Amino acid sequence: MRLRPGLAAAFVLLCSLPMPSQAGWDWLYEWRVANRPPPGRPAVYSRSDPQLWPSERVAGAAAPVPLPRGASACLSEAALAPTLAEIERVRSDAFLVWHRGRVVFERYAEDRGPDASTEPASMHKSVLALVVGQAVADGFIPTVQAPVSRWLTEWAGDPRGAITIEQMLQMASGLAPLPFDMSPGSAWNRALLGADSTAVPLSAALADTPGTRFNYASGISQLLGLIVERATGQRYAHYLSQRLWQPLGAAEAFVVLDHPGGLARTASGLFARPEDWLRVGLLFVHGGRVGDRQLMDPAWLQAMGAPSTANPNYGYQLWRGSPHAPQRRYNSVTPGAVPASAPFLADDMLFFDGAGAQRVYVSAREQLVIVRQGAAAFDWDDSRVPNLVVQAARGCDAGVRVAR
């Protein structure tokens, strides 16, 4: 996307001026609305692109080591032909398959490559839950049953202050969700593009008893990001880097901020390479281990993937493939739903979900991670691609066993 004539020069000038207060960044909302790109392919991060301003670097490993690669007869290009037809139909930019210890297949769009860092929208939410888990492990958050008012002092003495960390992680906060509305000035739009990413969710009304009703809402993830910063006393980007990104062996990433010096957009806005999204998925395959190091508490990963009372297809900022949900809905005010025409063949399938079919699928039992990024695909069938991959892998395994 290109800036309108004159805005690029104005942007450079404004960035050279002394930083105003948070309230002084109110113009950012109008600027973002006016220059928002049309729905399509995820943006590629570029330090020189003012559309991604402001952002903050998430330091990666000093020398990222590529994941092991190797061909697989089970998951060769020929074996994956039906899968690749679907991947190409929806104009994918990146498609990776890891199976039993190595990346066995990867394909990128001609104008994108393995080093392109893109922003797969709400897939960041699942990373956020891992960061919350590290804050629990470090003692910054004593328990997920703690009331959020301990950190969200704006809700001290307010019934909303009794909402627990776990209820927020499970999207069962009881807070009223926002209807999807991209019109200028809407609350949904201001929550996404405003210079204060927590103003709208902090003003949300309590509509249900916390813990009783599932209502997926990005504002909840924004509040969790604020809680992480207040609990740890650290910038989100720094804590993410120290406790997750560098130990994973990932390359540098970037988080978008709501305003200069402000809060990371923890509901989305994390730019990273496709391979590094795969590394995150591998945590669930390896029980939180990275090489010889136990990076994550296995109990936390199990809790993330466990069914919640309010929605058996959702854990901690993470979707579950089972039980079969033919139409997966997000909340009570959003009419759209994502289909899964058949049950997942791997009944332990977990997945990170980003708008427009940005996905990381993980099955520990199948020793499988699948990453798909690319153009928004609003006719995506959630179970089709992972089932085709699992079917190919199992079919080849069966043939090998018979041959022996």
Residue closest to 210 by CA, chosen among 158, 164, 157, 267: 164
Exposure class string for 185-219: b at 16+ Cβ within 10 A, else e = eebbbbbbbbbbbbbbbbebebebebbebbbbbbb
Write phi, then psi, for 393 (nearest 5 degrees).
-65, -45
List CB contacts of 284: < 8 A, sequence separation 6 or more: 301, 304, 305, 350, 362, 364
Residue identified by tokens 């960390």 is 165
- Say if CB 119 and CB 93 are below 8 A apart: no
**What's the CATH number for 51-67+92-399?**
3.40.710.10
pLDDT tens string, the chain, 404 residues long: the values are: 344 444 444 444 455 444 566 668 889 999 888 888 777 888 899 887 777 889 999 999 999 999 999 999 999 999 999 999 999 999 999 999 999 999 999 999 999 999 999 999 999 999 999 999 999 999 999 999 999 999 999 999 999 999 999 999 999 999 999 988 888 889 988 998 999 999 999 999 999 999 999 999 999 999 999 999 999 999 999 999 999 999 999 999 999 999 999 999 999 999 999 999 999 999 999 999 999 999 999 999 999 999 999 999 999 999 999 999 999 999 999 888 999 999 999 999 999 999 999 999 999 999 999 999 999 999 999 999 999 999 999 987 655 433 32
pTM of the complete model: 0.93
DSSP 11-50: HHHHHTSPP--GGGGTHHHHHHHHTPPPSSSPPBP-TT-G
- Say if CB 274 and CB 105 are below 8 A apart: no
Tell me, what amino acid is at 105? F
pLDDT of residue 404: 29
- Say if CB 370 and CB 65 are below 8 A apart: no
The backbone region for 232, taken as left when phi is positive above 0, alpha when psi lies in -120 to 50, beta otherwise, is alpha
- Say if CB 333 and CB 178 are below 8 A apart: yes
- Say if CB 213 and CB 174 are below 8 A apart: yes
List CB contacts of 56: < 8 A, sequence separation 6 or more: 235, 237, 254, 255, 257, 264
Neighbours of 233 (CB within 10 A): 8
Residue closest to 361 by CA, chosen among 277, 269, 254, 271: 277
- 294 CA to centre of own chain: 22
Exposed/middle/buried for residue 329 (C-beta within 10 Å: 0-12, 13-18, 19+): middle
Strands 327-329 and 358-363: unpaired
pLDDT of residue 23: 67
Per-domain residue ranges of the chain: 51-67+92-399
Tell me, what amino acid is at 20? P
Length of the chain: 404
